[in-house]
Each structure stands twice: as C-alpha cells, then as structure tokens.
C-alpha cells in the first residue's frame, strides 16, 4: 500500500503544479488584456507613446512587459507581451487592443 500511495502522491503533485501553472497563465493573460485595453484608450486620446506605455505598466503593477504602440490612420493598436515565470518560464503571453482615435 505504501508504494501505491507514493505513486498517487506524485500524480497529485503533478496535477496540482499543472493547475497552478494554468491559473498563473490565465491571470497573466487577463492582466495583459486589461493593460492593452487601457493603453489603447489612452492612445485614442492623442496621448504620446510614453504616456501609453506608462498606462499599460501601471495596470500591470510593475510586472515586466513589452508594450508596443502602432498608429494607423484613425486607429491605434497596443500590444502587451509578458513572459510567465516559474515552471512555464519563457512562455510569452500576448494581448492586443485596438481603439479608434478620438476626433
């Protein structure tokens, strides 16, 4: 019975790590989407790119991320890329948001 319990505990630990990693990835994705959406709104108000990047970083709460701003006529697109840490280090989460520039 001890060997079966040991194998079962390993399986439970693997599943727990997988669930926690997926949870962390989901939270990172939601933060990136929120940061991109907020930054796109700021960019739509004709703010300079530095203010747009700062708005995204404020929403991210200081987490390391790359923020890109692309203006195309009446539209602005903000891309936020953030890397996961821990077991899934190296996996990048990317979120885009597009807004129409205010007149």
pLDDT(26) > 80: yes
Q: Give me the pLDDT at residue 1, please.
A: 66
Phi, psi (deg, nearest 5) at residue 78: -115, 130
Q: Give me the pLDDT at residue 62, please.
A: 79
| pLDDT bracket for residue 68 (50, 70, 90) | very high
In the numeric block, which tokens belong to residue 102?
Answer: 């205010």
Residue recorded with tokens 């929120």: 34
User: What's the average model confidence in pLDDT over 31-35?
Assistant: 96
pLDDT(86) > 70: yes
pLDDT(6) > 80: yes
Q: Which run of H or of E encompasses 2?
A: helix 2-44
DSSP symbol at 86: G
pTM here is 0.83
Give the whole-angstrom CA distance, residue 103 versus residue 100.
9
Residues whose CB falls within 8 Å of the CB of residue 92, separated by 6 or more in sequence, listed in order: 81, 82, 83, 84
pLDDT(63) > 80: yes
User: What's the average model confidence in pLDDT over 68-89?
Assistant: 91
Q: Give me the pLDDT at residue 13, please.
A: 94
Q: Give me the pLDDT at residue 5, please.
A: 87
């Amino acid at each position: 019975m001890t060997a079966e319990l040991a194998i079962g505990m390993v399986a439970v630990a693997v599943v727990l790590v997988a669930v926690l990693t997926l949870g962390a990835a989901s939270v990172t994705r939601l933060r990136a989407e929120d940061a991109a959406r907020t930054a796109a709104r700021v960019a739509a108000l004709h703010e300079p790119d530095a203010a747009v990047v700062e708005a995204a970083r404020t929403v991210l709460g200081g987490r390391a991320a790359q923020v890109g701003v692309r203006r195309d006529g009446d539209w602005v697109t903000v891309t936020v890329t953030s890397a996961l840490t821990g077991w899934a280090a190296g996996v990048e989460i990317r979120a885009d948001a597009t807004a129409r520039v205010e007149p």
